[in-house]
Amino acid sequence: LLWQAALGCRAAQVLMQYCILANHYWFLVEAIYLYKLLIGAVFSEKNYYRLYLYLGWGTPVVFVVPWMAAKYLKENAEEGGAGLCVPHAACPPQINLLIFMRILKVILAKLRANQKGYADYKLRLAKATLTLIPLFGIHEVVFIFATDEQTTGILRYIKVFFTLFLNSFQGFLVAVLYCFANKEVKSEMKKKWQLWKLDH
């Protein structure tokens, strides 16, 4: 019974690490997709769809499987050995930050070009920036170099709080900003609600 509990615990840990990495790589997919849309690149979505799937779901396996093997070997070699961390440096927050900055540059250029149409272009840029931060997972970059071993005392509590808070509500923020606040989505939901009221 004890070995079953230990196996379940290890499986949960592997699944958690895989999900964390998949989350990072899907941010990268979103960043690449948005950048392609913004620069007006002409491409066939069918050609890129499979690539996006491999990048989002497949790339984490490349890092999690060796980590799992190394952790297993280390724990067998050392009785109660310290756990290994998944190499989060292999995650794409830094790449997302670069794409994020490129996108902001494109948005700024487009808003400046249409200054007459958009007198409040600085406000629009600020709004775009704040909306893209949760979508690209830019908050991850803040603590990327502050590892658990390096942070102590109050800094560690701050890091843990912000990491847990932002990671927990990130999906909710993205859903609100890009789904529920979207005019097309609201229009469709309104239609569905009216149809449902008529049926009942």
Contact (CB, 8 A) for 84 and 17: no
Q: Could you give the C-alpha distances from 42 to 37, 39, 47, in angstroms and in order?
A: 8, 9, 12
Angle at 177 between CA 61 and CA 31, to 5 degrees: 40
pLDDT at 80: 47
Closest among 62, 50, 84, 75 to 18, alpha carbons compared: 62
pLDDT at 84: 59
pLDDT at 77: 63
Alpha carbon distance 119, 74 (integer Å) = 61
Pair of tokens at residue 91: 């995650």
Instruction: Give the DSSP letter of residue 84.
Output: P
Alpha carbon distance 164, 176 (integer Å) = 19
pLDDT at 37: 76
How sure is the predictor about 149, in pLDDT bands with cuts at 50, 70 and 90? Answer: low
Pair of tokens at residue 154: 């109050």
Overall residue count recorded for the chain in this entry: 200
Q: For residue 198, is pLDDT > 60? A: yes
- At 184-197, the pLDDT tens digits run 888 888 898 889 88
Q: For residue 173, is pLDDT > 80? A: no
Instruction: Give the DSSP letter of residue 44.
Output: -
pLDDT at 131: 72
- The residue ranking higher by pLDDT, 113 or 154, is 154
How sure is the predictor about 57, in pLDDT bands with cuts at 50, 70 and 90? Answer: very high
Instruction: State percent of the chain over pLDDT 90.
Output: 2
